[in-house]
Structure 1
């Protein structure tokens, strides 16, 4: 099991979307909060990001910014430009591609503005350890796979062809993986901590893989430690130091994450979901799920269905 891919698949609650944005100065766009994470790619021109927390971030051609919690923010040519809400045109649930334009007398800036609909009721350590804003400046030869994905995405969005909806959805998913890879690669190895460091740790990674391969297994700290060849106490210390929570706490986190995915994406009975999550009774599972998410499994499923996966909401037109 590819742990990073598995985790992103489990956290995703809908199809990602992307909007080509053409803005002529003066301009300033307000992006409303979304249930997920957002990103922007500067295709042409310059602008500033006014993040939820912190000062302005100057952006140039090829720069990429990722906002891990989809918090409300502003993109603008100048901080004193009049603000308007980001309301894309030509967006519907059948396509992940939208358009938005702001006319004006000044220079043009072209952006790709996108979002990932993610389950943020109880953030996975993957999201919790990331900074609020990841800024990946453009630089020749830097992160070639990421740059290639951006180039392909730009080509599909600017000139859609038959099959572009599928290609764009796939490329936006790839972009998230490449953004995370690029950020991980830039972290000093000697200071590496957290869930991302655990993925490459030779002693903790096998235990993480075991949990993801078979979350229903009755794992104990001792049996997980045996995957790494460590004693119970040594394994627990190392796992907790890297992942940020004890082994069995992470096991519960992952079981609840996979159960939530099944509730959203399948019509399986509660008993089958409970068994898949490692619980021998529906009652014990429902109790654990409510403790984790703050609501019973049935309520969670109904809410997920009612929210749906409207692409327009995913790209920031809703609150």
Structure 2
């Protein structure tokens, strides 16, 4: 079971190509915070990236920057360059009939692919909030770089001719793949540097034993799991499983399972008209009363009220 893919699917994290940005120095733009994740990939030239109070960082061809929660940030041809606020008015001024955003100038050219990822804010927070506010990945890294560079080259190709059959669909699928590879690369880098995420399911994927246990729970969330049954599935003692899982994930296996079942139930409540009792059985509850109590404790309201509330 692909735990990361399962989490992204439940949170309905979907890519949408925003723009191809083509600029010649001197230039600078400031992009406001957005609801969702922001993504930039430099395919030609160089630029400087800023976010919050961190020092500017130079982006080379093949560098990718992901802002998982859409933080405010800036891009410029040089550090300290005056920036224009990227609002709807500026966007209309710069955009070409081809869909490219172009800034003319006498200097060196930079080409950046800019995209966004939308998500269900009720369900995506546990996924994307586990990542750092800014995630910078360079394709020069030998372990993962070639794969990322191949995906980036394909994305640049698909966005180069938007009249090609299926180019829009291909670009969105490639952005989905890029997101997974960027997260995977960051996890590998964090494992090497020791600067990994705090205890969470994402951190748990870095530990082989915990990852196997997570995969089992995600593959069969409605199974009547016990700690003993899960330990037998991953071939370790109950004590070892409980210790390793809790250290990496931050809570015991069955506590994690309860929260995951409720997240699955929340999605079913929003996307279907199935009775709450049916959904409760799907996610592993034989008692509707126990399901209602667990749902209220985790989501802050009973299933019926949750279903009637408008999605954020």
Q: TM-score, normalised by structure 1?
A: 0.80
Q: In structure 2, do the counterparts of structure 1 residues 50 and 303 end up closer, same or farther at CA, with 3 Å as the change threshold?
A: farther
- DSSP-derived class of the 2:209 partner: coil
Partner SS for 1:204: helix
Where does residue 77 of structure 2 map in the other structure? 77
1:80-99, aligned counterparts within 5 Å?
Answer: 80-87=81-88, 88=91, 99=100
CA contact (8 A) 1:11 1:257 kept: no
SS in 2 for 1:219: coil
> Which residue matches 2:215?
209
Give the aligned length. 300
Q: Is the CA contact (8 Å cut-off) linking 1:216 and 1:275 kept in structure 2?
A: yes
CA–CA distance in 2 between the matches of 1:16 and 1:301? 27
Displacement after TM superposition at 1:233 (Å): 2.9
8 A Cα contact 1:202 1:228, kept in partner: no
Q: Which residue of the other structure, out of 183, 191, 199, is the alignment partner of 1:180?
A: 183
2:63–2:138 Cα contact (<8 Å) kept: yes
Which runs of 5 or more structure 1 residues have no equivalent in the other structure? Answer: 90-96, 308-319
Q: Which residue of 2 aligns with 1:144?
A: 146
The match for 1:248 is 254
Question: How do 1:220-259 and structure 2 match up within 5 A?
Answer: 220-259=226-265
Pick the structure with greater CA Rg: 2
For residue 203 of structure 1, give the secondary structure of its aligned residue in structure 2: helix
CA gap of 1:162–1:268, structure 2 versus 1, over 3 A, is farther
Query: Is the deviation greater in 103-112 or in 279-288?
Result: 279-288
Shift of 1:267: 4.1
Compared with structure 1, are the counterparts of its residues 223 and 205 closer, same or farther at alpha carbon in structure 2 (3 Å cutoff)? Answer: same
Once the 2 structures are TM-superposed, how far is the Cα of residue 174 of structure 1 from its aligned partner? 0.5
CA–CA distance in 1 between the matches of 2:33 and 2:306?
A: 21
| Kept in 1: contact 2:20–2:99 (CA 8 A) | yes
Q: CA deviation at 1:179?
A: 0.8
Match of 1:155 in 2: 157
Q: Which portions of structure 1, spanning 4 or more consecutive aligned residues, are displaced by more than 6 angstroms? A: none
Shift of 1:149: 0.8
Identify which of structures 1 and 2 has the higher relative contact order when contacts are C-alpha pairs closer than 8 Å and 6+ apart: 1
2:172 equivalent in structure 1: 169
Moved more, 1-10 or 269-278: 269-278
Are the structure 2 counterparts of residues 298 and 261 from structure 1 closer, same or farther at C-alpha, using a change threshold of 3 Å? Answer: same
RMSD across aligned C-alpha pairs, in angstroms? 3.1
For the 8 Å contact 2:11–2:119, the answer to whether it is kept is yes
Q: Does 1:261 align with 2:267?
A: yes
CA deviations 1:256-298 (Å, max 9, x no partner) are 3322333444443433322222233555434433433345545
Question: 1:66-118: per-residue Cα shift (whole Å, max 9, x none)?
Answer: 112222222222433132225456xxxxxxx9643334454332111112123
Distance 1:198 1:181 in 2: 13
Distance of aligned partners of 1:211 and 1:139 in 2 relative to their CA distance in 1, 3 Å threshold: same
CA distance in 1 between partners of 2:186 and 2:205 (Å): 14
Closer/same/farther in 2, CA of residues 299 and 34 from structure 1, 3 Å limit: farther
Partner residue in 1 for 2:95: none
Runs of 5+ consecutive residues of structure 2 not aligned to the other structure: 93-97
